[in-house]
Amino acid sequence: MFLKRSTYSLEINQDDWASPEETLLDAGSDYADLEKPIPDFYFKFIAVATLILFFAVAALSFNLSVFKHDNFEKIAAQNKSVSFAVSPPRGAIFDRLGRSLTENVPSFGLLAVSRELKNSVPEEANLEKLAQILKFSAENFEKTISDGSKTNSVFFVAADLNKEQILAVENGIFKGFHIIPDLKRRYVDGKQFAHIIGYVGKVNGNDLRRDAYYESVDFMGRTGIEAEYEKILRGEHGRLLFDGGVENGKIVNRETSAGSNLVLNIDYALQKKLYNETYNILAANGLAKAAAVIQNPQNGAVLALVSFPDYDNNDFAAGLSDREADSILKNKNQPLFNRVIGGLYNPGSTIKPLMGLMALEEKIFAPQDNIRDCVSLTVPNPFDADSPYVFKNWRSESGLFNLRKAIANSCNIYFFIAGGGHKSIKGLGVERITKYLTASLAAQQLGIDLPGEEAGFIPGPDWKLAEKRESWYLGDTYNISIGQGDLLISPLWLNSYISAIGNGGTFYKPQTAQRILDANKNTIQIFQPEKIGQLQFKQDNILEIKSDMEETVLSGTAKALRDLPVRAGAKTGTAEVVKNKKINSLFSAFAPWENPEIAITVLVEDAASNQGLAVQIAHNVLKWYFGQFLPQPVESSPVSESH
C-alpha cells in the first residue's frame, strides 16, 4: 500500500525583496542592515599585546630556569631533606690589653635524623654497639632514640664525644647518626672573672618564644657581659641539610657567621690581684662575703670587679646536674649575686666626705671651725627628762676637731652636729641632706653595662611615716649623717662618688666594655666616656675635702697607705650589722692625689670587729699597682777610680 506524496511550494512575495537602491539608502541609516568594518587599530593592539605577553612569559621562564635554578634546587633539596640549624661561634672577649678571657673550644656531638632512622630501621645489635661506644645502657639509649624520633626531626643523642668515640662511630655503619662539630664556651680563670664575664646557658622554651633568632640548639648569655652584650656576641646561624641521596648524607646549605668581639676596660693582671688579695683576707679570717671595685676616675672605666662568694662560670657552660645547680642556686650566701652592683649597704663613715661637702656648701661649718672633744653627744629626751639620748663616737678622743681632723679621724660627733645640729648650731637637717644625696645620684642606677644594678635608698620623714608609721626623730638625722640607719648604697655608687671628689666633681657612667671589634679585629664601635652628673658643690669645697681625704692617709685612719709611692686620698668606714657583734668593713681611696688614675672601694661583710680588713686589701692592691706601673729609679753602680 502506498501513501500519496504531498506536494508543497513556497510562494515569494515580490514586495518583500529589497531593491539595490534601497540597500544603498539603508547604509546611511542608524538601523542599517550591514555592520561597519573593524578599524585596523584594534588588530594592531591585540598583536602587540600578544607579543609582549609572549616575551614576558619567555623571560620569566628563562629567569626561573637559569638565574634562580640554584635557589629552587636548594628548595627542592630542602623539601626532600631535613634541615638543622648550626649555632654560630660566639665573639671573643678580651681585656683592655688584648688578652683573651674566653675561648671557643671545639666539641663534637652525635646527631640523630628521625627520617633516616625510620627508613633504615637500625638493628638492635647496631644500637647496642653504638650505646656501648657512647657508654650508655642499651635500654636507656633505645628509649632516647624512640622518644626523640617521635617529637623531633633531628636531635642530639650525645655531646662532647672524645677522639676514640668519634673514630668508632665514623668507622661503624650507623645509618641515621651523624657526627656534628660544635664549639663550647670556656672561660679563662673562670672564678676570678665570673662576676664580670658571666656565663652562657642552654636556651629554654621562653627564650624561643621571646626571640625568633634562637634555635633549640643554642646557648645564650645568662649573666654578666655575656648577657649584657648578647646581641653583639652572637653571630648568624648556619644550616645543615641531611639527605640520604648524597655522600655522607650532609649538605652545607649556609655557613655560620661568627659574632663580634668585645674588648673590655678590665685589666687582667689587676683583676687577678684584686681577687687574690680579697680571697686571702677572707680565708684568713673565716669570712665568706665581700665586694670590691676599681675604676678610672677620669672616665668611669671599670678596671677590676670582684664579688664573694665566687663561682666557676665554666661549670655552667659545661652543664650542671640538678644537684650541682641546687648547691649554687640554693646557697644562702648567694654566689651568683654581684654584690658590687646589686648589694645595698650602710655606707658608714665613707659618707662623711659628702657630708663635709654639704656642711661647707651650706656654711654649717667653715674648714677652720672646731668642736671640742670627740666623745659623745647628749640630746634631751622629750618623753623622759631623766633619760637623755646619748650618741657616742666609735672611740673617745679629746681636743679640738675641725673638718680635716674630723674626716681624718672619722669623728662621729662632728658629723652628728653638721647633720642634725646641736645647741646653737642648726645643722643641715634631713631635707637638705636628702636633697644633696639625691643630686649626687645616691638613689638612682648609674647605668653600668652589667645586668643586676640596684639603685640606693635615701630615707626621709614621709617614707618613715608611711612604712613604719613612726615620726622622724633627730636621732634618724644623726644616723644618716654618719652613714647608718636606713640609708643604703651600693659599693659601685660609693666608688663613683669618691671618684668624683678625686677628679674635681664629675660622675661618669661606669663602663665595663671598651670597644667592639669585627672578626678581623677592626674596631666597629668605641664606647666613649659619658658624664652622668656633677657634684653640686663649689670647686673650693671639693678641693678642701680632697685634701682632707689625703690627711686620712697622712695622720688618720688610713695610715697604712703612707708607704705608697704616690700621694693618695682615702676614707675608712664601718657599718654595724648585728649590734656589738658584726660589722661591715669599708674603705675607699683614689691615687695619685694630684691627678687620680685609680679609685678603689672594698667592702668586707660580717667582720667580728673593726680589724681594718678592707684597708688591708686596698693597701696591698694599690702598693702592687703603683709598684708595677711607676718607673723605678735606676741605681748607679760604683765606679772605681783609676790612677
For residues 254 and 323, membership in a common domain is answered with no
Amino acid present at 361 = E
Long-range contacts at 172-176 (CB < 8 A, ≥ 24 apart): 172/126, 172/129, 172/130, 172/133, 173/126, 174/122, 174/126, 174/130, 175/116, 175/117, 175/120, 175/122, 176/112, 176/113, 176/114, 176/116, 176/117, 176/119, 176/120, 176/122
9 within some domain: no
Map residue 243 onto helix, strand or coil: coil
209 within some domain: yes
pLDDT at 223: 96
Question: What's the pTM value of the predicted model, to 2 decimals?
Answer: 0.83
pLDDT at 122: 62
For residues 476 and 363, membership in a common domain is answered with yes
Q: Are 100 and 92 in contact (CB under 8 A)?
A: yes
For residues 469 and 585, membership in a common domain is answered with yes
For residues 257 and 353, membership in a common domain is answered with no
pLDDT at 635: 41
For residues 347 and 439, membership in a common domain is answered with yes
List Cβ neighbours of 440 (8 Å cut-off, separation of 6 or more). Answer: 354, 497, 500, 507, 533, 535, 536
What's the CA gap between 470 and 98, in Å, rounded?
56
128: number of Cβ within 10 Å: 17
For residues 244 and 341, membership in a common domain is answered with no
For residues 258 and 341, membership in a common domain is answered with no
Which CATH number do you get for residue 139? 3.90.1310.10
Domain boundary residue, one of 264, 288, 323: 264
Q: Over the chain (643 residues), what is each successive 10-residue block's mean pLDDT?
A: 46 51 50 58 73 77 66 52 84 97 93 79 76 88 84 84 89 83 93 97 92 92 97 92 58 82 98 98 96 98 98 86 83 95 97 98 97 93 87 94 98 98 96 98 98 98 96 96 97 98 98 96 96 98 98 97 97 85 93 98 90 94 87 40 35
* DSSP assignment letter at 258: P
Concatenated DSSP letters of 540-568 = HHHHHHHHHHHHHHHTSTTGGGGGSSS--
For residues 445 and 345, membership in a common domain is answered with yes
Per the structure, how many domains does the chain have? 2
Domain boundary residue, one of 264, 294, 316: 264
For residues 403 and 538, membership in a common domain is answered with yes
139 within some domain: yes
584: number of Cβ within 10 Å: 24
117 within some domain: yes
563 within some domain: yes
6 within some domain: no
For residues 371 and 488, membership in a common domain is answered with yes
Domain boundary residue, one of 210, 238, 264: 264
For residues 242 and 361, membership in a common domain is answered with no
Look up the domain containing 485 and give its range: 304-629
* DSSP assignment letter at 400: E
484 within some domain: yes
What's the CA gap between 484 and 476, in Å, rounded?
9
For residues 222 and 367, membership in a common domain is answered with no
187 within some domain: yes
pLDDT at 74: 52
